[in-house]
């Protein structure tokens, strides 16, 4: 595993918050749900919307462009913008990444 710092301190990242960061040239979404921090790809694969500009409700992030809904823990599609019941439909799941906290800073493993 190659852990990469995000530059985001856990103590300044409130539960229910999201933040977009760029790691190794890739957009990554950080989402804090209770005490846990999840990381997924930062762009919606359906419409390339910036997910950090969307909304977070529990583990559900909604794309601000076309309303696709994803689970920030697994990356699974929960709501297809075309109304097709997942997992069918034209929307791909998000890539999810492991996270950890080292010296108070959130780190992500991009799997490369």
List pLDDT tens digits, range 29-49: 999 999 999 999 999 988 889
Number of domains within the chain:
1
pTM: 0.93
Residue by residue, DSSP assigns 48-93 as: --BGGGSEEETTEEE-TTT--EEETTT--EEE-TTSPPTTSSSPPP
In 3D space, the residue among 23, 25, 14, 45 whose CA is nearest the CA of residue 99 turns out to be: 23
| Cis, bond preceding 87 (omega within 30 deg of 0) | yes
- Whole-number pLDDT of residue 74: 96
The reported pLDDT for the residue numbered 73 is: 97
- pLDDT (0 to 100) of residue 14: 96
Q: How far apart are CA 94 and CA 67, in angstroms?
A: 14
Domain that holds residue 66: 3-109
What is the CATH number for 73? 2.102.10.10
């Amino acid at each position: 595993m190659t852990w990469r710092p995000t530059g985001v301190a856990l103590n300044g990242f409130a539960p229910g918050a999201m933040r977009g960061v760029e790691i190794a040239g890739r957009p990554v979404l950080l989402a804090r749900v209770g005490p846990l921090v999840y990381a997924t790809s930062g762009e919606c694969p359906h419409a390339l919307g910036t997910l950090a500009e969307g909304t977070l409700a529990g583990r559900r992030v909604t794309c601000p462009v076309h309303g696709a809904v994803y689970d920030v823990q697994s990356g699974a599609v929960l709501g297809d913008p075309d109304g097709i019941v997942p997992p069918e439909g034209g929307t791909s799941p998000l890539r999810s990444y492991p996270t950890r906290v080292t010296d108070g800073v959130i780190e992500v493993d991009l799997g490369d």
